[in-house]
Homo-oligomer: A and B are copies of this chain.
Amino acid sequence: MKFCPSCGHSTERLVPEGDNRERDVCTACDKIHYQNPRIIAGCLVAWGDKVLLCKRAISPRKGYWTLPAGFMEVGETIEQAALRETVEEANAYVKADSLQTIFNLPHIGQVYMIYLSSFLSSPEFSSGPESLETKLFSEDEIPWDELAFETMRLSLKYYFADKAKGVFNFRTTDLYKD
Contact = CB atoms under 8 A, between A and B. Distances in A.
Nearest to A105: B77
A5 B71 CA distance: 20
Contacts of A36: 36, 38-39, 71-74
A106 to B, nearest CB: 5
Interface residues of A, number: 42
A101 to B, nearest CB: 12
Interface of A: 1-11, 18, 21, 24, 33-39, 71-80, 99, 102, 104, 106-107, 109, 111, 129, 170, 172, 174
9 contacts: A8-B10, A18-B129, A34-B71, A36-B73, A74-B106, A78-B102, A79-B104, A79-B172, A99-B170
